[in-house]
Amino acid sequence: MIPKKIMIIFVTFTVVLVLSSGCTLLEEFELDPVIRRVTPYTNKIVVNDIPLRSYANSIITNCTTGDRECQINAIYRHVVENYNYITDPPGVELIQTPQETMQVKGGDCEDLSIFLNSLLENIGIKTYLVLTENHAYSLVYDVNLSTLWGHVEQSLITQVEEDWGDNITQEYDKTFILERFHNWYYGGNGSSLEDSDIAYMNISYDIQSTRPLHFYVVPSSSEFDSLNNGSPFFHYSAYEEENTVTIKGICPYLNKSGGVILCNNNRRDTTLTVHLTFYYHPSFYKLFKNKTITSYTINNKNCVVLDATAGRYGYPGYDAGLTGEKIAVDPVTRETNMAGIFAGGDVIRGPSTVIQAMADGKKVAQSIDKYLKGEKMEFTYTVTRPSVYVEPVTLGVDEVLETSKQVPKCLAVQKRKKNFKEVDLGMSKKSAVLEARRCLRCDLEVRKIDDKKESQ
């Protein structure tokens, strides 16, 4: 078997490890600018956060347990319907955390994608962040396309109905006198609904009369003209009523804009109370006849595009036809779609801390180990305690105050707009000294484990 080739781009220096026959010099590799570009965004994706998990769960309450496709569609539609596209200030690239996006109720394509990825990752759905030359979107992993389409269709129908509003229904509610031996018609001219964005029409009717009537449902006003001329006319016989004072029902799935006829064949006038509702059902297949779910394959699994900027008629799998190179990055393993390349540390973060570099090193090492073994790139995290017990020290009041965690100051989000002010304000000299002292007090975090709990 040919050994796999790995490139590790890490910390403040670059190390290239090539597992192949022969040797490759460091100078032959250049740091890929794509990796530099993508990491500031993947660093903002939060995959293990209780408030985000709770928020995501509140969105998917109508989905049955285990219906991933319903959950994906519900979270996507929630973001599309409730979060706005907000452009960054000119010349400034603001990268928001999921919490900041929730606070301002919007963001640009990168911010909304980070938000989508974070929500899905927190309920156990694997995602990728995809970057193109001038756009960003999410990619959700391992999707059943046919199941997803059922949820997509219902969401879009609901959106169409909301947008059409009053245009979907036409009401008629009136009390009047129909003279003896007279006929009355209310409805359309019989035009075919197949030539419009309407799939079919339902007519609901509720009629009260002081004298018996004859009732017909017809496909066109021309049938009413034929009736008045004494000529044969067509009507839907299943809905015909004879000599009735109360007429109530619904005539569904009409493919023409027809109407109803009332005939007073009595020798006296009759008083009518007529309530009609014409409901026009929009045709999903006509409105979205060219729409399909676009998917990509990663590790023999279907992956679907989630573009949070696609608008209210966007859906999981909507592809805006973006061309050019697309780079997909796993926010958990740090693996790119360039096989064998793993990145971390200052070389992609910019100036950062040793702790962050060590954390990146741990993640990358685990990813490389799984990559070389051909194992699935999935990770579970468990909190562990030190194996060596350190006797806790009793602290005085002053020590407690001095050893509390110092939080670096940042410029408020609203004050970052339309300027080049420094965002990370750092710590004061006093705060920095206090925080440094904490590094020498390991006993602040270690506590004795209860023997009974330990035995369990």
Domain with CATH 3.10.620 in the chain: 7-156+290-373
Name the more confident of 51 and 396. 51
Please tell me the predicted confidence (pLDDT) of residue 335. Answer: 61
Distances (CA, A) of 259 to 226, 229, 241, 253, 277: 14, 18, 15, 13, 10
392 has pLDDT over 50: yes
Mean pLDDT (whole number) for 352-357: 71
Please tell me the predicted confidence (pLDDT) of residue 16. Answer: 33
Max mean pLDDT range (26-35, 131-140, 227-236): 227-236
Mean pLDDT (whole number) for 423-451: 67
Going by the DSSP 8-state scheme, the letter that residue 224 receives in this structure is H
Question: Whose structure tokens read 């710590």?
Answer: 427
Query: What confidence tens digit (pLDDT) does each residue in 237-255 have?
Result: 999 999 999 999 999 999 8
How far apart (Å, rounded) are the C-alpha atoms in residues 357 and 49?
21
298 CA to centre of own chain: 20
The share of the chain scoring above pLDDT 90, in percent, equals: 36
Q: Indicate the average pLDDT of the chain.
A: 79
pTM: 0.55
Query: What confidence tens digit (pLDDT) does each residue in 156-207 have?
Result: 877 777 776 656 788 999 999 999 999 999 999 999 887 777 888 999 999 9
What would the CATH number be for the domain defined by 7-156+290-373?
Answer: 3.10.620
Per-residue tokens: 293 = 């779910």
287 has pLDDT over 60: yes
Question: Whose structure tokens read 């995959």?
Answer: 47
Burial 378-415 (b: 16+ CB within 10 A, else e): eeeeeeeeeeeeeeeeeeeeeeeeebeebeeeeeeeee
Scanning 137-213, the segments in alpha helix (DSSP H) are: 145-164
